[in-house]
């Protein structure tokens, strides 16, 4: 029996559409371009109708099954984007964003309302040149990203300017095809700040993240650039590409604590699978392996932190 969800924008019904049943819990090394993003729903960027709403949607908005050709400012919070193609033809005013939850142009800060969700969607930077997109993140801010396909951007998922209240979750996303230009710094995903608060966490679970450009830093780059990073969990991910696949360090300004890496797979093509040059190190490091398709669950050689 099929269940249905009513999609609404500020109380106005947009459509009645079937809710896809949740499939098996795919691990990062099982993700492909056909089982995340739009493809599992029979959708594509080329076939979706154009979005005609505001590029800074109001609080409470649900955006579903459209093609969006502007950068999206989701800083009003309590916004869901689903089964949509975000394919900007220009970048935003702050850090060249494609999608952000950061409030600017005054002193930039995180969304106050939070509850920003992007799921079953595609963020596509291919309408931009490498020079335009190389210093952009597909997503910049704090929110929940599930089952998305992110490609042809400079960097992927950037949990940055995350504030002090809201948790961040990236789950079953596939990041690939990143592009560099000149002196760009390219990460498949990164965390640059995440202050402690009771019950607050930042999680990367079951993602596939490939950072393969001419300016690779790594698939998942964790650096408390200005303020602390706390309560980080990295599990079930497939981390690929150049630089170090998983990089953790402190800086002169801040450190990190309560950080965990469990059951991840690595495919390094650059410096190596992991590096931890400074700081107290991983609180938990367990069952992390090079990816070997010939071994059960892809468990190749053990990886040390």
Measured distance CA(202)–CA(240) in Å, rounded: 21
What's residue 1's pLDDT?
Answer: 34
How many C-beta atoms lie closer than 10 Å to residue 92's C-beta?
Answer: 21
What's residue 106's pLDDT?
Answer: 73
CB 288 within 8 A of CB 263: yes
- Token duo for residue 230: 């706390």
CB 193 within 8 A of CB 219: no
What's residue 19's pLDDT?
Answer: 36
In this prediction the pTM is 0.91
Strand partners, 296: none
3-state DSSP percent of the chain in helix, strand and coil, to 5: 5, 40, 55
Write out the chain's pLDDT in tens, 305 residues: 333 333 333 333 333 343 332 346 899 999 999 999 999 999 999 999 999 999 999 999 999 999 999 999 999 999 999 999 999 999 998 889 999 999 887 778 889 899 999 999 999 999 999 999 999 999 999 999 999 999 999 999 999 999 999 999 999 999 999 999 999 999 999 999 999 999 999 999 999 999 999 899 999 999 998 899 999 999 999 999 999 999 999 998 899 999 999 999 999 999 999 999 999 999 999 999 999 999 999 999 999 99
How many C-beta atoms lie closer than 10 Å to residue 140's C-beta?
Answer: 25
Check the CA dihedral 22-26-30-31 and report its sign: positive
**Angle value at C-alpha 252, between 188 and 211, nearest 5 degrees:** 10
- Token duo for residue 42: 């029979």
Of the candidates 101, 95, 97, the residue with the CA atom closest to the CA atom of residue 80? 101
What's residue 47's pLDDT?
Answer: 96
């Amino acid at each position: 029996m099929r269940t249905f969800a009513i999609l609404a924008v500020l109380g106005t019904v947009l459509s009645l559409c079937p809710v896809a049943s949740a499939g098996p819990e795919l691990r990062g090394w099982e993700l492909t371009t056909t089982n995340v993003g739009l493809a599992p729903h029979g959708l594509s960027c080329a076939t979706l109708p154009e979005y005609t709403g505001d590029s800074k949607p109001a609080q409470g908005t649900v955006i579903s099954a459209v093609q969006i050709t502007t950068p999206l400012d989701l800083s009003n919070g309590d916004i869901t984007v689903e089964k949509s193609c975000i394919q900007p033809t220009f970048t935003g005013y702050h850090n060249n964003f494609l999608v952000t939850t950061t409030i600017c142009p005054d002193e930039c800060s995180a969304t106050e309302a939070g509850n920003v969700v992007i799921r079953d969607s595609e963020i596509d930077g291919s309408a931009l040149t490498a020079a335009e997109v190389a210093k952009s993140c597909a997503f910049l801010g704090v929110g929940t990203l599930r089952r998305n396909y992110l490609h042809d951007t400079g960097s992927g998922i950037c949990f940055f300017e995350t504030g002090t209240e809201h948790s961040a979750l990236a789950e079953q996303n596939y990041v690939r095809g990143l592009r560099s230009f000149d002196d760009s710094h390219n990460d498949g995903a990164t965390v640059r700040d995440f202050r402690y608060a009771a019950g607050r966490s930042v999680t990367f679970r079951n993602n596939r993240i490939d950072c393969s450009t001419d300016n690779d830093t790594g698939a998942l780059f964790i650096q408390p650039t200005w303020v602390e990073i706390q309560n980080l969990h990295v599990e079930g991910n497939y981390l690929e590409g150049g630089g170090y696949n998983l990089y953790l360090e402190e800086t002169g300004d801040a450190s990190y604590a309560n950080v965990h890496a469990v059951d991840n797979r690595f495919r390094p093509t650059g410096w190596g699978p992991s590096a931890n040059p400074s700081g107290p190190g991983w609180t938990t490091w367990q069952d992390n392996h090079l990816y070997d398709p010939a071994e059960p669950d892809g468990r190749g050689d053990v990886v040390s932190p």
